Amino acid sequence: MTDRLLGVEDLVVEYPARGFGKKPFRALSGLSLDIRLGETVGLVGESGSGKTTLGRAVLGLAPVTGGSIRYAGRDISRLGRKERRALASDIQVVFQDPYTSLNPALTIEQILTEPLTVRKVARPEAARRVRDLLDQVHLPADAGSRLPREFSGGQRQRIAIARALALEPRLIVCDEPVSALDLSTQARVLDLFREVQDSTGVAYLFISHDLAVVRHLSHRVAVMYRGEIVESGDGDQVTSRPQHPYTQRLFLAAPLPDPDLQEQRRAERRRLARAAAAPSVS
């Protein structure tokens, strides 16, 4: 094999519908994607596009009904609970909402030791590791004894990153990790993501609705729309010169923080919309 870390092929995810005899809801309909070692693949899409479902499928939290997810050559899409647990040291996660992804009743140290105890890391060794992790995400060493509610959103997201790093995984699924944060906090957390990648060589599947965020961090970018990938490729190309009409729409819809450039972009978007108005637009 080459340096391919994760390979998703023809993936289908369907959620059983509530109620008997109803058609299941198809969240992903046969998409393919791969991630190389140490690479960041950005996944962009609007709500309902299925980008979060793809992340959850990789994590084993969504029902895979077709296709495969290969991790280091091995199909992990339908693992039993026990085998899945063994995968914890390879694939980790950082979720969107920094307020619900940490158990409010546990201290930071307890949260960070959780993955370690599963690996039967001895107590002093675990304590040392927690200090290292806190240092790695630039939190003070005394943070361990405090509760999540004593931290701001950005700091909580740092803790979530530390938890993900605890087992030294090779892939982290990042599900909108900065979209709940303020602009300046967001920039600092993104810097941390890059710094961690530079020092550990971890790969990211980076899910976001924000083209600018994805562009900043991703080597390659895939754009999702209604359960499918409509465009993918080199990050610069997809986010600066999109080819697919939907990506173009997405690209032109994001307002630029410059009144003159935005005026141009708006004019271009309206021209495109008028051109597309003949076929139906939702």
Partner 1 sequence: MTTTAAPTDLPAVRTLERTARVSLVRRVLRSPVGAVSLVFLLLVVLAAVFAPLLAPQDPDFASARDVLAPPGGDHLLGTDGSGRDILSRLLYASRLSLSGAATAVGVAAAIGITAGLLAGYYGRWSESVASSVSSVFMALPAIVVLLAARTVLGPSPYTTMIVLGVLVSPAFYRVVSAAVAGVRQELYVDAARVSGLSDGRIIARHILTVVRAPAIILAAGMAGIAITLQAGLDFLGLGDPQRPSWGGMLSDAFAAIYREPLTLLWPSLAIGLTCIALVLLGSAVRDALERSGRPRRRRRRDAAPPAASLAESVVVHDEPTGARAEELLHVRDLAVGYDQPDGSTTEVVHGVELSVHRGEIHGLIGESGSGKTQTAFAVMRLLAAGGRIVRGSIEFEGADLATLSEKEMTRLRGRRIAYVPQEPMSNLDPVFTVGHQLTEPMRVALGLSRTAARTRALDLLARVGIPDPQRTFAAYPHQISGGMAQRVLIAGAVSCGPDLLIADEPTTALDVTVQAEVLDLLRDLQRESSMGVLLVTHNFGVVADLCDRVSVMRAGRIVETGPTRAVFATPRHEYTRSLFDAVLEDTAPRGPLVPTTQGAQA
3-state SS string for 62-121: CCEEEEEEEECCEECCCCCHHHHHHHHHCEEEECCCCCCCCCCCCCHHHHHHHHHHHCCC
Is residue 25 close enough to count as binding partner 1 by CB under 8 A?
no
Nearer to partner 1, 7 or 30 (CB): 7
Nearer to partner 1, 12 or 254 (CB): 254
CA distance 148 to 168: 22
Residues 6+ apart with CB under 8 A from 71: 5, 6, 87, 90, 91, 171
Q: State how far Cα 59 lies from the chain centre.
A: 11
CA distance 182 to 184: 6
80-86's contacts with Cβ under 8 Å and 24+ in sequence apart are 84/60, 85/118
Which listed range, 2-10, 24-32, 128-136, 138-146, lies at the site for partner 1 (CB under 8 A)?
A: 2-10
Interface mask (CB under 8 A) for partner 1, residues 36-55, using x and -?
xxxxx-----xx--------
CA distance 35 to 220: 9
Chosen residue from 133, 216, 227, 230 binding partner 1 by CB under 8 A: 216
Is residue 243 close enough to count as binding partner 1 by CB under 8 A?
no
Which listed range, 24-32, 90-98, 128-136, 138-146, lies at the site for partner 1 (CB under 8 A)?
A: 90-98
Chosen residue from 105, 124, 277, 279 binding partner 1 by CB under 8 A: 105
Give least dist CB 1 to partner 1, A. 6
Nearer to partner 1, 131 or 249 (CB): 249
Interface mask (CB under 8 A) for partner 1, residues 122-151, using x and -?
--------------------------xxxx
Is residue 24 close enough to count as binding partner 1 by CB under 8 A?
no
CA distance 126 to 214: 34
Helix%, strand%, coil% for the chain, nearest 5: 45, 25, 35
Give least dist CB 27 to partner 1, A. 16
Residue identified by tokens 């084993």 is: 60
Chosen residue from 146, 190, 226, 244 binding partner 1 by CB under 8 A: 190
Chosen residue from 118, 127, 228, 244 binding partner 1 by CB under 8 A: 118
Chosen residue from 145, 152, 243, 264 binding partner 1 by CB under 8 A: 152
Total residues interacting with partner 1, rule: CB under 8 A = 96
Output the six-digit token pair for 218: 């991703």
Give least dist CB 150 to partner 1, A. 7
Which listed range, 21-29, 32-40, 132-140, lies at the site for partner 1 (CB under 8 A)?
A: 32-40
Nearer to partner 1, 12 or 72 (CB): 72
Is residue 156 close enough to count as binding partner 1 by CB under 8 A?
no
Distances (CA, A) of 79 to 72, 116, 118, 181: 14, 22, 18, 34
